Each structure stands twice: as C-alpha cells, then as structure tokens.
Chain A
Amino acid sequence: MNATSTTLEPVFAFLESTLSTAQTTFDKLPGSAVVLRYVKSSHRNDPGRTVLELILFAFAVWTLLQSRTRADRNGKHFIQFSEKEIDELIDEWIPEPLAQPLTSTEQSDLASMPIIAGPNGPKPKLVSTGKTAVNLASFNFTGLAGNEHIKQRAVETLRKYGLGSCGPPGFYGTLDVHMDLENDIADFLGTEACILYSQGFSTVSSVIPAFCKRGDIIVADRAVNFAIQKGIQISRSTVRWFDHNDLNSLEEVLIGVEKERKRRRGPVTRRFIITEGIFQKDGVMVDLPKLIELKYKYKYRLILDETYSFGAVGRTGRGLTELYNVPAEKVDILLGSCAVGLASCGGFCAGSRVVIDHQRINGPSFVFSASMPALLAVSASEGINILRSTPSIFETLQENIRTARAVLDKLDCITIPSHPASPVIHVNVRASHPAAPPMSPSASTGSGSSKHQHSNPQSIVSSKDKSQLTPAEYEGEERLLQEVIEECLGQGVIVTRAKGLKGQEVVEPRPSIRLALTSALTKKETEKAVGVLKAALVKVLGKRR
C-alpha cells in the first residue's frame, strides 16, 4: 500500500500541478468566471441537461471523427473476412475486359464513316474516293462555312489573341470577344442576357442541373435528345414524360402533376417543361405559341433546346421564336448552338439576367472548362452579322427544303416525320405492310387525340407507341439504309444515318437517314442530290418488296 503510494506520488504531484495550472490559466481567461458560474448554476438547476449536453458533445465529436470515405462496415450486408479469405477472393476475381471489341457490323459502320479531305462544306472532297461530292450530311444550314469574310476576321483575331484562352471563364478566360458574342446573341434573339459554353453538346446537360435540383419537377418530351436526357438524369429531379410533340398529352401530365401536388399538399417547387425546337431525333417542330400558353397556365418555366432551329428557321434565322413571332423573353431558358447554327463552335443559353448569372457560378461545364477560342467566338459574331443582313439565305434554304420535300414526299417506301419547314429531314423506312398505319410519332399526334390512351408519365417509354421494332427488324432497317447511303456515296452525294448510342439510349429511335439541307447549294443542285437519294431509296427498298 505504502509502496504503491510512494511510487504514485510523482504522478499525483504532476496531476495536481497540471490541474492547478489549468485552473489558473482558465481563471486568467477573460469571462471565464461567467462561464463557470453559468455551468454551475445550470447543473444545479437541471442536472439532466448537463448529461444531455455531454451526450450531444460526444456525438458531435464522434460525427466529426467519422471519415467520409469509410466503409459501411457495420451495415447488415457487410461480411467479415479473414485476411486469407480476402486474398483468395482477390486472386479469384476476374474482371470483364475494359472494352469489348466492336462487332463486325459496328466495325464496318465505323470504317464507312465519310472522312473529308480538306475543308468541309457544301461540296467537299472525300478521302475514300478523292472526288468531290454534294454534302447533305453536315450542318451548314446557312452556308456560312468557307465564308471568306469570316475567315479573314478569324485570322485577324488569331493575330491578336492567339488560339486558346488558356483558362476557365472565372480565371482570366473571359475575353472581350466572348462578352461581345454574348451581347450579339442576346441582342439577336431579344433576350436580356446570354452565356457561352465551349461545346454545343455539353450546354444543355450543364444548364439543366444548374437549375433543376432534387425535388423539382421536370416535364419533358419523350423524344428529347440524348444531352437533355443526361442533363435530366444528373439533375435528380422528379421527371414526368409526355408523348412526343403531343401538347394535349403535355397538358394532361401537367394537370396530373398539379393534382398530385395538391393531394400531397407539398410546397411549391420549381417546375420545368423541357423540349426541343426542332427535334434532333426526327426533325419534328414544336408548336411554340401553344407551349407558351400552357407554361403560363400551369406556371412552369420553359427550357427550349433550339440547337437545330437556331440559325435554321425564321426570317433571319432567329429560330422558333421568330418563326412563330413569339418574343424570346417568353422562353425562360433558351438554348442554341453556335456549332450548328453559326458554323463555328460552342453553345449558348439565353434568358433573363438572373437566369444567366446563375449559370456563371452553377453551370458545371461553364465553370470547369476553358472558354472558347477567341477566333471561334469572333467567327460566330460575324455569322450573326451576316444572318442579320442577308435574309435571302433563309429564302434559299426554305426553297431548298421545299424542293427536297417535293421529291421525297412522293415516295411510298419511306415516311418523313420531320416538319415541312425543318432543314433537318429524317427519312424512315415505311413499315413493310402498306396497310399498317404510319408509325411515325408525328402522325400519331394527329390521330392520338381522338381516342386517348394514357401513357404512364413516369416512364419514358410510351404505351401508345407499339411500333417498337424487334432487334432483328431494327438491324434490318439499318442495313437497308446503310445500303442507300453507300449507293448515294457512289453517285457523289454524302448522306448519313442518324447515329445514336446503341444500348445507352433509353428509347431507341427508329433508324433513319438524316439530311441537313443548306442554302449554299442551289435549288438545282439540291434537287439533283435529293434525286440521287430518291433513286437509291427506290432501288434498295424496292428490291425488298
């Protein structure tokens, strides 16, 4: 006993001295007396509270010490293994190969992809044949490609700014020419402001998650393009789908959502309608005035992707808003592409100042990516100037579209879902039995309204659309169309299939040949080129019958 106390003596002395130093330092701290008095009195009055506070404190410490990357080792699904077992499992594990090699059809598809030698334009030279061909595949609606004035301005810009901007817009990547282009586009469309993205495809999949968050409601068209689908997916919002380009179906869905909200008595959340101006997948055009009416009636915001209609329709190419004479301000979030519409690069989003400024901080691909090269921004600005001053471009384009449609519409073996004014024209193979009703989505909108079946708005797959092809049929149509393309290529006309991402699309669109008309070709040239396509279609599809 004595022995232990003597051995422990220094320990006690040390403890005592530490305690007393702690005491004196604590006393010296200003306000320590107040704290002490407060703690004492609270403990005296309510000892339970002290216990509670201690528990809370301990919990806070415990939470703070939890590592973020720590595994859920206590979860009921966790299995304890010994080191040896783990090693065995690791040895046994055989991963799948990183990438399956392409199938032979995929390989031949890739090999048949037209590669252009030299400048792309209305009549480029092909690497494979070394000959020029008429181009009905590339997006050059307004014929701005190869414009000498734009080239000259681009070279001047290069000599002042160099090529790359070498930084994201937030960190010295904002050039005066970017601000100029933003103003030009906003001014051209008639919106308050505009923001530039450095790639058209990434624009919409960045804009959607900037605004739509978990709990918000998105009502979207079933046939929206892949980029929108990915934007919706990453936003984690609640999605309801309406039938492709069927505004009656949209209204039903909107009513349904409102009912649901009233039943749940939830708070007002952000609500968005997302659709496209001219659809990438089939060239169908949305009825904008009706859409605007619906959005106001049900208090939604509209996100309109005008990638394929900006620089394509309207008297001076301002897109759907000009075509339908709707002020662009009424579209809350309007997206377009300088790559498609202005033959440059990048995308933009136009809207009110609040909408745009929000994206400058929250649009992932705006914030985290380098800004567009200066010379491409200047090229786009020059493109807008040209569109403004030469409405004849769009007269020629529309005439070419009419010419092409006049040639193609007469054919029995195909269906064309695209809008008559759309420069993007999709050509589908008509279903093999001539008696069957046309399956194209646009046709179904007309007949669908009389006897309505309700599609489940929670699923992107429409119950109405019974024309889902079996994989074999799908493959068969693809082959046929590819044959048509080869045939055309042999005759000196470049056309392309609408390429998609097989296996990654939620709904596989029907195989189609996608034409992109241009004002850079004359009416005669267009007629001749489409004539070649017609002949090829007749030859290949006629053989099938």
Chain B
Amino acid sequence: MPFSSPLPSPMALNKPPPSPSIFKKRSSSALGGPIPSSAASYLTALSQADARARNANGSPTSTPALSLSSSVTSSSEDTVLHDYADNDSNANGLLLPARPPTSEQVFTTVHTEFGHCANEEYRTTSQHPPGTPLPPHVEQDPPYYILLSTYISYLILICLGHVRDFVGKRLSPASYRHLMPRNGYAPLNSDFDSFYTRRLKTRMDECFSQPVTGVAGRTILLLDRISPDYNHTQIFTGTRTRALNISSYNYLGFAQARGGCADAVEESIKRYGISSLGSRLEGGSTDLHTISEALVANFVGMEDALISSMGFATNSTIIPALVGKGSLVISDELNHASIRFGTRISGSHVRMFKHNNMKSLENLLKEVISQGQPKTHRPWKKILVIVEGLYSMEGTLVNLPAILELKKKYKFYLFVDEAHSIGALGPHGRGVADYFGVNPRSIDILMGTFTKSFGAAGGYVSGSKALIDRLRVYGHSGPYAEAMTPSVLTQVVASMASIMGIALPPEMASSSKLAIEQEYHHPGPAPPSSLPSWLSLPPNLASGAEGSSRLRRLAFNSRYLHNGLIKLGFITYGHPSSPIVPLLLFNPGKMNMFHRLMKDRQTPIIVVVVAYPATPLVTSRVRFCVSAAHTKEDIDTVLKACDEVGDVLDLKHGLPKRQRWTVEEIMKRAVELGTMA
C-alpha cells in the first residue's frame, strides 16, 4: 500500500515520478512478464510514453478532419471539434473510431460525444428473465491481508494526522487559526470535526472536484491542474486533456452538444427564453411544464407527474408532504442522502432495514406493525417504505417483486427512487418496474431524476392524480422553489420522446374526431399530440430507432464491463445489468494510485473513486458509470487498463486464478459476456 506510507503524498505533484524507495517493498513476484515491477516505474514509463506520443504528432489537425467529414452530417461540426481539439491528436484513440465507417454507415453523432458503433452484435436487452427470482447479491470478501492492511492504512493515516496536528499547532499556529476559538468566536469548523477532511481527504483531493469543460459525453476535456503544496491549492496549467469518460451519469448518452435534442433545446431557448421566473404556484408555470409532466407520467406509466427543478430537492421537498408525525418511514440503509434529508425534515419516525434484505424488511414490518408507535402503541397512521431502484454506490437492484409481495400482506406504501434506474433499465428504458415486467401502478410513488439518463437536470415524482395534485399544493417546491427552466424541460421532452419514439400520426383523411386524442398505451410510443407542436426531431430519433439502440447498447456495455471485470479476477459489486459497476479497491492508498494510473495512460481514462463516508470504511471502490455512448472498443480500453493497473496494485482477489480469462480472450468473447445474464 504505497499510499499509506508516512511520507507526504507523492501524488500531489503532477509529473515527477515518486521516489522509488517508497515502493521498494512491494513484492514483484505476483507480476509476470512485461508488466513493470512497481507502480512507480509503471508511472514513469507511462508518462514517458505519453510525452513521446505527443511529440511524435507535430501537426495533428489534418487527418481527423479528413476522416471525420465522412462520419458526421454537417460541416459545422468539424469546426466545432477543432475549436477545442486544438492540441488533440488521435494518439489517444479518442477522437476517431477504431474502425473507419463504411460508405453506407451514416453516423449522426460526434464520436467524442457519442461513440460510433455499428456492430449490431454489441447489443442486448435489459430485462429480468421472467419467472425467476432475483439472485441474492453476494458481497465477495477480500483476503484477510487486504482487510488488515486497509485497517492499518487508516490507523497510520489517523495517527499521523494527529501527530501533524499536534506539531503543526505549535509550530505554525497561523494555519490552524480558523480551527481555533478566536476573539470570542467559536471556530466555524473544529479541528476534530474537520480531521477527516484535512488529514485524509486532502491527500486524495487530486481525485475529486476535477474541473472539466465541454460535453460530459463519451469523452471529456479535463482542465489540467497541479498542486505544488500537497493539494492545499490547485493551479491550472492552462492545458487540457481529453479523456475517456466512464464517470458521468450519462447512461443513454444524451449529453450532447449536437443532434436532435440539442437542436430542440436551441429552439426552446429562442422560443421561451432562459428562465420560468418564479415558482410553480406563483406565476412560473408555462405550457411546457404541463406538457412535460404529462409526458413523464406516460413514460413511467403513471397517472400524473410533478417536475421539480433539482433532483436532490425532489426527495427533500416531497417526502415531508407525504408523511409526518405518526407516520413511519422504513428506509433501506443505503438510501441516498436526499431521502434521509427529506425524512428528517418530515418529522416522521424512521427505521432502517439491511440493504436489499427482504427478510430484514419483513421482520421489521412485523415488529413495527405489531408494536405500533413507540410508547403509546397506537397504530401507525401510515407506513412508507422507501427504496432505490438502483443503488448508486453498490450497483444493486432493488428486489421489486419481493417487495411487492410484502406490500400485499403488510399494506405499506411504496416509494421507489429511480434516480439511477429510470432510462437505464428495462427493455423500454422505463426503470425497474419495466426491468422486472411489473405494472408500475402497483407502486405508489415513482420518483426519478433527469440528470442521469436524459442529460438534463432536476427530478420528477409520479403517482396517482390525487396524490400528485396534493404534492403540487403541499410539496415544498410548489410555492417556494423556482420552476424548471424551459431549456431543461425541452431536453427532457426531446430525450424522452426519442426513447419512447413518436407514434405515427393517424391518417389525416379520417375525421377530426378520430384524430384528436391518440391513446397512449404503456410502454408504447408517445402520441404526437403529447409533444409541443414546434418540436421536430430528426427521423432516427422520432422513430425511436436510435432510442432503442441506445438502450440496447447500454445494456450490452454494462454487462460486458461487469462480466469482463469479473473474468479478469476483480471483486465487483452489483447486478450485471446495472450501468453502475463498482470495482473494489479496499486500501485507501490505492484509490489515488488507481485514479492516477488510469488518467496517465496513453488513452486517459477518468474514474470516480469513492471512500468513506460514502461507503463503509473498508470497502473503498472505484465506480464506473457505463454509457450507451461508449463503443465496445472503449470498454475494451477500460478492461485493458484495469487489467494492467489491477496487476500493479494487486486488486485481483475475485475469481481463483484458474477460472480467470486473459484480457485478449475477454475482448474476443465480448458478445458472449455482454449478452449473458
């Protein structure tokens, strides 16, 4: 564990290789062949190769322009690419598709935003095999030495932090002044409260809050930064690096600056302006809100829906309107912070059950219903069970069929937070209910966000008409929070309509009577009457062909990456269908290393590493967010990188060695991996 060493973080500096002495103790016996023997030498070799590659490409502009013109529709897109591709060459393999398009393939997307992938084999359907129970999620344990070294790492970090605080307070009191009481003011943040942030998180600040620019699509442009003082300040070097983006919540690849949805948004800015100017109940409602809400309700298969301008606020302002004193909220222990925030504000009683554990839920239900409210033993007014469709840190799916079974017996209300699952799961992209083939109306409240699959922002809550009307009046957002802006609404409408597809308008010849209302059948295409009249989507989006191709690409990519990592020998969590693929790192020091090793490759890959307090202390992890925008080759790149980095950092503790596949074999058998359950 190089990073737990007592020396100040070598990671804080950008290019110079860390002193090899820190890494000397790492045994190199486990690694064979061409792989460098230590992380340090690996890093050096990488940065050298990188520099060489950059120098070799003196004039990078000519080739990309030539071949791109065949793959994008209009010439304006080329110029845009050049705008920020100034010092980009295709040396990192990100600008151009691995396989140049043939004359009959026409791609309408920019490859850096949404990858070109024409091979119909790399597609699968996201669907739970009907009639089978959801296999229980088994969390694989690492070998004991990993656990032990993880604990020791934290121990060292904590001891060292306290020593540094002790010495620092005496030697340089000025830098601790904001943590000490001063002039009769208590510190805003005590040294104890901020210990974790100062002494542990600061060491890996390189991995967090990396500023970026451009579209958070298949690739992203990083604004390079260095820290001369161990992450206390970050200085921008002024250069940019294009990296493969496997971190943004861009499941269906709708984060695009070009294409039908962006065109629609541009049109809406011209038509509607920027803001809705006010809250929904006080003069901020437009016809676009009404249209979007009806479309969202159709999309999820509910009677009505309410849109809120921020995802976090959807939970934190809606839950208090549902439950209050005398009600009980039963919440999964891994539920998102916004749900906890909302339940705490609501004033209702809260109990938690073990993550996705139906036995634990049932026992809890038996207990709370039989005991009633604490002390008084009065029966609960109502019980609301809140679960997430897809858990953002674990990649686990809620066991919806089992919960619905329990719901029948225990008469609780069910709230499913589909922040990550809407759009990302199900054969029609309609979330967990669609994935399990369950009638969405058997769930009381479906909540979700537009940030993830739709490339927009904000959230919605949907349910019966009576419920939603009540939430319009009693949800905190209604009178007080600003309404969603027209541009965001348009992105929602356009992306949602492309997933659903737009039904062909009925024969114009038939009398107006027939033409007025085209019925919506869940989960079918959107009737044209349910969309703004000015919205015109290009044919491939309007027909739903691209939407369904995106859904199938996402499903394939998710399974391929997940199964590939397992076959490589990593410990991963979650369901194979989940676009969130967590890979377990355990040691805190490895987080920084993993992040840096992935970023400094010839094809830079940016990853999200998460640790305590977002996860339990020992199970630090890297979280990949797969997108439909990724091509099979991109996933190959990630797998290759993980394979090499995994060897260097000793991360492969999953499958026994005999059952592992080589990365070449995995790439060759991708279709098999991507389509197996």
Contacts and interface: CB of A to CB of B under 8 A. Distances in A.
B212 A174 contact: yes
Which of A77, A205, A343, A368 neighbours the largest number of chain B CB atoms within 10 Å of its CB?
A: A368
B486 to A, nearest CB: 8
B274 A376 contact: yes
B445 to A, nearest CB: 8
A254 to B, nearest CB: 13
Contacts of B215: 160-162
Given A110-B473, A172-B220, A499-B281, A167 B247 contact: yes
Interface in B349-368: 351-354, 360, 364-367
B275 A120 contact: yes
Contacts of A172: 210, 212, 216, 220, 245, 247-248, 606, 608
Contacts of A344: 274-275, 485
B404 to A, nearest CB: 16
Which of A90, A154, A339, A494 neighbours the largest number of chain B CB atoms within 10 Å of its CB?
A: A339
Contacts of A159: 80, 257-258, 262, 266
B113 A162 contact: yes
Interface string A145-172: 1110011001100111111111101111
Contacts of A514: 282
B412 A365 contact: no
A20 B93 CA distance: 62
B189 to A, nearest CB: 5
B277 A167 contact: no
B352 A299 contact: no
B277 A164 contact: no
Nearest to A351: B188
A386 to B, nearest CB: 12
B457 A373 contact: yes
A345 B473 contact: no
A116 interface: yes
Nearest to A179: B211
B272 A119 contact: yes
Given A230-B345, A373-B487, A93 B282 contact: no
Given A95-B412, A162-B256, A499-B281, A370 B214 contact: no
A211 interface: yes
B370 A81 contact: yes
A291 B353 CA distance: 47
A430 to B, nearest CB: 23
B145 to A, nearest CB: 15
Contact of A137 (B214, B283, B316, B464): B283
Contacts of B265: 158, 163
Contacts of A158: 257, 262, 265-266, 269, 487
A364 B411 CA distance: 32
Given A155-B269, A354-B188, A145 B283 contact: no
B274 A154 contact: yes
Interface in A154-212: 154-155, 158-167, 169-177, 179, 198-202, 205, 211
Interface string B243-284: 001011110001111100110011001111111111111111
Contact of A379 (B274, B279, B290, B371): B274
Given A110-B473, A167-B248, A137 B278 contact: yes
A503 B474 CA distance: 9
Contacts of B284: 120, 138
Given A85-B370, A162-B217, A166-B455, A498 B273 contact: no
B313 interface: yes
Interface string A92-110: 0111111111100011011
Contacts of A97: 382
B191 interface: no
Contact of A368 (B183, B223, B274, B312): B312
A169 B382 CA distance: 37
Contacts of A379: 274-275
A213 to B, nearest CB: 8
A71 B367 contact: yes
B435 interface: no
B481 A199 contact: yes
Interface residues of A, number: 123
B273 A120 contact: yes
B91 to A, nearest CB: 22
Contacts of A150: 274
Nearest to B534: A118
Interface in B182-228: 183-189, 193-194, 197, 201, 208-217, 220, 223
A102 B255 contact: no
A63 B102 CA distance: 66
Interface stretch (A268-276, A402-410, A457-465): A268-276
Interface stretch (B31-39, B336-344, B574-582): B336-344
B451 interface: yes
B410 A90 contact: yes
B467 A225 contact: no
Which of B178, B201, B283, B474 neighbours the largest number of chain A CB atoms within 10 Å of its CB?
A: B283
Interface in B319-334: 320-322, 333
- Contact size range, B: 35 or more
Contacts, number: 387
A299 B336 CA distance: 37
Interface stretch (B47-55, B158-166, B372-380, B652-660): B372-380
Contact of B473 (A106, A138, A267, A516): A106
B123 interface: no
Contacts of B482: 199-201, 337, 339-340, 345
A480 interface: no
B640 interface: no
A268 B223 contact: no
A15 interface: no
B615 interface: no
A349 B374 CA distance: 40
A501 interface: yes
B631 to A, nearest CB: 18
A55 interface: no
B626 interface: no
Contacts of B309: 199, 345
B405 to A, nearest CB: 14
A230 B344 CA distance: 10
Contacts of B194: 358
Contact of A201 (B181, B258, B277, B480): B480
B257 A160 contact: yes
B444 interface: yes
Contact of A154 (B269, B338, B473): B269
Nearest to B361: A69
A81 B369 CA distance: 11
Nearest to A370: B451
Contacts of A294: none
B567 interface: no
Contact of B344 (A102, A227, A234): A234
Nearest to A81: B370
A138 B277 contact: yes
B248 A99 contact: no
Nearest to B212: A172
Nearest to B627: A166
27 contacts: A78-B371, A89-B369, A90-B370, A98-B322, A99-B466, A114-B283, A115-B286, A117-B286, A119-B286, A135-B283, A138-B276, A151-B269, A151-B274, A159-B266, A160-B84, A164-B491, A165-B457, A166-B452, A167-B247, A172-B606, A172-B608, A198-B312, A201-B482, A202-B316, A364-B337, A496-B281, A499-B282
Q: Nearest 6 A-B pairs (CB), nearest first?
A: A137-B283, A201-B481, A499-B479, A199-B310, A138-B277, A369-B312
Interface of A: 68-69, 71, 77-79, 81, 85-86, 89-90, 93-102, 106-107, 109-110, 113-121, 127, 135, 137-140, 145-147, 150-151, 154-155, 158-167, 169-177, 179, 198-202, 205, 211, 213, 216, 225-227, 230, 233-234, 267-271, 280, 299, 301, 337, 339-340, 343-345, 354-355, 358, 360-361, 364-365, 367-370, 372-373, 375-376, 379, 494, 496, 498-504, 514, 516
